[in-house]
Every structure is written in structure tokens, then in C-alpha cells.
Amino acid sequence: QKEVEQNSGPLSVPEGAIASLNCTYSDRGSQSFFWYRQYSGKSPELIMFIYSNGDKEDGRFTAQLNKASQYVSLLIRDSQPSDSATYLCAVNSDTGNQFYFGTGTSLTVIP
């Protein structure tokens, strides 16, 4: 069973600041990593995925992957109140058929 660990938070940042969300995973053989955003009572929405070591940027979001440390992070620049949600880290299975999710980190952006 793969394990994905996230700090449950809550994490609070002021509007305009950088929010940093972290995730570690247990299976060194994991290949692909995903970040989802989930608003209260809603379904997860894909923010981005990353395969390769290093950074991947998409607008205000940057995913960072360090396979040697088995660590994935998500940075949100210029945080907005609308970014307030739970952020789920997910690791893909070897077969690519299922996600292993962390418990999520609750983020609150304070206006």
C-alpha cells in the first residue's frame, strides 16, 4: 500500500502571499504526481501533474518534485481568497490505474 502524507493544516496566508503545500510519498518507484483542489462539498479539480524532477509552472501555480527525497510541493503565488480550499496530493499507481491520495491540506487565504 502506497502512502502519501500531507500536513492537514490548516494553513493560513494573507492575500498576495505565497502558499507552500508539501507532500511526501512512500514508494520510491512512483512516477507521476498530481495536485488537486477541492472546495468544501465539491469534487476534486486537477491543478497540475508532474513527472520529472524539478519545477513545473502553470500560471500562479508551481509544482516541485524531488524524487530522491520523495517529496512533492505546490507553490501558489499571489494567493487569492478564492484559493481557499483543500489541496490533495495524489500519486499514480505503477499501472496508472489508480490514485493514492493524501488526506489533504486545508488552505485559507485571508483578505
Residues within the interface to another protein (CB under 8 A): 1, 4, 32, 34, 41-46, 49, 88, 90, 92-93, 95-104
Q: 32: which residues sit within 8 A by CB, 6+ positions away?
A: 49, 50, 51, 91, 92, 96
Minimum CB distance to another protein, residue 97 (Å): 5
Measured from the CB of residue 15, what is the shortest distance to another protein in angstroms?
26
**Pair 50, 42: CB distance under 8 Å:** no
Would you say 66 and 56 are in contact if contact means Cβ atoms under 8 Å apart? no
Q: Measured from the CB atom, is 5 or 17 closer to another protein? A: 5
Least Å from the CB of residue 41 to another protein: 8
